[in-house]
Amino acid sequence: MSDHHSSDRSRGPTTGARRPIEWGLAGLLLVLLVVTLAWDWNWLKRPIERRVEALTERSFDIDGDIEGRFGWRVSLVAHDLRLGNPEWARRDHMGLADSLRLEFTLGQLMRREVDIVELQRPRLSLQRSEDGEANWIFPERRSRGWNIRDLLVEDGRMELREPKLETDLRVGLRSGRPREELERRPLLVDGEGTYRGVPFSVEGGVESPLELRDQDRSFRVALRIVAGDTRADIRGQLHSWIDLRAFDLALEMEGQDMADLYPLLGIAFPTTAPYELEGRLVRERDYWEYTEIEGNVGRSDIAGQATVDAGRERTLFTADLESESMHFGDLSGFIGMRPGGGAEQARQQGRLFPTVELSGDGLRAMDAEVRLRARSLTGAPFDAEHMDASLLLEAGELTLDPLVFGIAGGEVDAVVLMDARELPATGSISAELSGLQLERLMGQDLGDGTRGPIVGRVVMEGRGNSVAGLMGGSTGEIQLVLGRGHVGRARLEAWGLDGGLQRRALGVEEGGLTINCGVADFAVNGGVAEARSLGVDTPSTVVVGEGRIHMGEERFELRIDTKPKSTGLMALRAPVEIRGTFLDPDVGIDAGPLLLRGIAAAALYALTPPAALLALVETGDENGEGCLGDR
C-alpha cells in the first residue's frame, strides 16, 4: 500500500505542473487566433503610405484593400496602388499596379528581407522634362534598405517620353522563367515607338531590375533592336537600363546606310552602302569604343576598331580600319558620290568627278581621325590596286595626308586639303605619280605589247561645293612624262590611227609604234588646263599637240600633228583631234584647213619637258638621244 501511495506522489506534482503551461499555450494560440481573425490589415495603409511618401517625396496611395495571411510564412497583398509624379510631369501618376504581393518568413522580416515581390499589371510612365529632369530620379536616402530576393512581374507596361529627344516608347514587361545561371528571374521586354525621331522596336530580355540597386554591379541583357532601317542584336552588360551611360556589349548591327546612325548615336558617319558589322561596344559616359570589328560595307570587307568621344566641344571620331578587298563604290560617301558608285556610277552619269554637294553642317558637326587601308581595291573608274589613307577632320577643315593609291602598276601619293568652315568650300590637292604603266591606264588590255612608264605631278586648288565644282574652278598645273615604251597595233587601230597614211606619218612599224618619251604639261586656270608642252618623241617622228582640257565639263579639246625627223618621211595630211569626255574620249582626223598645221608646228619648238620628271624615267632612243627639247 505504501508503494501505491508513493507512486501517486511521484506523478502528481509533475502532472500538475504541466497543466498550467498547456493551458497557457492554448490560451496564447486562442488569443493569436482571435487577433488574426479580428485584425484589419487595412490599418497598415496609412503607415505604409506615409513611409513611401517620405522616401520618394511623391504621393502614394493604396486605394484597395490590404489582405494578409499569417503563419510561418507571411503574405501581404495590397490592391490598387498609385505612385505620384512631380508637378511638371504630364500625368499625375508615375506608376500604377493592380496589386503588390510581399512574401517572407518571420526570420526574414527580422533581417529586413523579402522572399518575393510580385506585381500584377504594373503601369510605369517615365518621362523627362524639357529641362532634362527625369521623374525616375528619387532623393538619395542613407537609410538601410530591404533585400528583395526575387521580383515577379505579370502583364506590365512601361512608357518612356523624352520630347526634347523626340522619344516616345511603349514597352511590355513580364518576368521570364527562373534560370540556373541567374539569381533572379529575368525581365522580358517587347515594345515599339519612336526613338530620337526614328521608328523603333525592341524585344528580348534583361536581368532583374533588382540588380540595379548596386551601382557598381552591371546586369546582363540580350536584345534585338530595330530603328528605322537599322537592326542590332546586343548581348552583354549594362549599368543603367534607362540612361545607358555605361555598358559592355557584343553588338551585331546591319542597316542600309551608316549615315542613318546620326539621329540615334549623334555620330555623323558618311553615306555608305548597306552594311553588316559585329564587334564589342563599350561605353563609359561620353566615351564609346567599338573594337574587334568585323563585317562588310557593301561589297567590301572591313575590320578594326573605332572610338567616339562625345564629351568634347565637338564629338571626336577615331578609327583604324583595314580591308582585304574594298570596292571603290563603298568609299563613295567619303568622296561625295552615291553609295555603290565608282566606275558603274561614273559611266551612268557620264562624269568622272562626283557632283554630290558637300554638307558643311556634316563636316562641322564632329572631328575625326581615321586610318583606312585596303590591300585590294576594285571597281574604281581607274585601274586601282590598293589604298592607304589617313583622314583628319577638325572644325570643318579636312586633311587627307597621306592619300596613297596603287594605280596601274604604280602609285599616286597625294595630300588633299578642304576647308568647309564656309561654303562654297575651298580645296587643294598635291599629288606625285610614279611608276604608272601606260598599258594599264588605257583600260582594256588588248594584248598588243603596249607599255611605258609614266610619272607626274599635279598641284590644284579651287572652290566649290562638290568635287566637280572644285575642279570646274580650279587653278594649278598638271605635268606628266611618259618614258621609253611602245604602242601596239591593236591600240592604234582602236584610236583610228592604223590607216596607211597615219602609220607612215607616225613611223609605225610592223609591231606598232616605238616611243622614246612623251610629255604633257598643262597650266590650269579657271578650270581650263591649257597645254604648255604636249608631245611624243618616236624614233622617226615628233608628235606635237596643242589645245586644252575643260576640267568642269570633263572634256578634251586637243589637236595633234607630226613633224618627221627625216625628209624621207611624210607628215599627217591633217592633224588628229582628241575630243569627247574623260570617260569617252574620241580620236579622229581634223578636217579643218591645213593652215592649222602651222600652229602645231610652232608648238614643236616650244616643247620644254619638265627636267625633274624626265630624270625619273628612262627616255630617249637606243642611241642615247634625248627627249624632245632635251635632244
**406 — pLDDT class (breaks 50, 70, 90):** very high
331-342 mean pLDDT: 53
pLDDT in tens, 415-469: 988 888 888 888 899 999 999 998 888 777 777 788 889 999 999 999 988 778 8
Cell numbers standing for residue 128: 523627362
Report the pLDDT value the prediction gives residue 97, as an integer from 0 to 100. Answer: 96
**pLDDT band with cut points at 50, 70 and 90 for residue 592:** very low
Q: pLDDT at position 601, please?
A: 40
Asked if 457 and 432 touch (Cβ cutoff 8 Å), the reply is yes
Which of 46-55, 204-213, 273-282 has the weakest average pLDDT?
204-213
The pLDDT, as a whole number, for residue 532 is: 92
Please name every residue paired with 453 in a beta bridge, in sequence order, or none if there are none: 437
Picking from 81, 93, 151, 63, the residue whose alpha carbon sits closest to that of residue 122 is 81
Of residues 562 and 498, more confidence is placed in: 562
pLDDT tens sequence across 86-123: 988 888 899 999 999 999 888 888 888 899 999 999 99
Q: What is the C-alpha end-to-end distance of the chain, expressed in Å?
A: 159
For residues 115 and 108, the answer to whether their CB atoms sit within 8 Å is yes
E runs forming strands in 15-62:
60-62
Query: Which range among 143-152, 294-303, 571-580 has the greatest average pLDDT?
Result: 294-303
User: Which three cell numbers mark 545?
Assistant: 599637240
Mean pLDDT of the residues in the chain:
80
Cβ neighbours for 7, distance < 8 A, ≥ 6 positions apart: none
Q: How confident is the model at residue 477 (pLDDT cuts 50, 70, 90)?
A: very high
Distance CA 12, CA 600 (A): 147
Cβ–Cβ < 8 Å for 336, 416: no
Q: 135-144, 234-243, 344-353, 384-393 — which one is most confidently predicted on average?
A: 384-393
pLDDT digits (tens, 9 = 90+) for 191-235: 999 988 899 999 999 888 777 666 566 778 899 999 999 999 999
pLDDT score for 216: 62
> How many other C-beta atoms lie within 10 A of the C-beta of residue 179?
12
Average pLDDT of span 315-327: 93
Dist CA 316 CA 321 (whole Å): 16
Phi, psi angles (nearest 5°) of residue 24: -65, -45
CB atoms within 10 A of CB 344: 13
Span of 32-46, 201-215, 223-237, 385-399 with lowest mean pLDDT: 32-46
Task: Report which of 438, 426, 529 is spatially closest to residue 483, judged by C-alpha positions.
Answer: 438
Distance in angstroms (rounded) separating the CA atoms of residues 236 and 209: 15
Dihedral pair phi/psi, residue 612, rounded to 5°: -65, -35
The CB-side HSE value for 332 (13 A sphere, CA atoms) comes to 33
443: phi > 0 → left, psi -120 to 50 → alpha, else beta; which?
left
pTM: 0.72
Spatial neighbors of 22 by CB under 8 A, at least 6 apart, are none
CB neighbours of residue 106 within 10 Å: 11
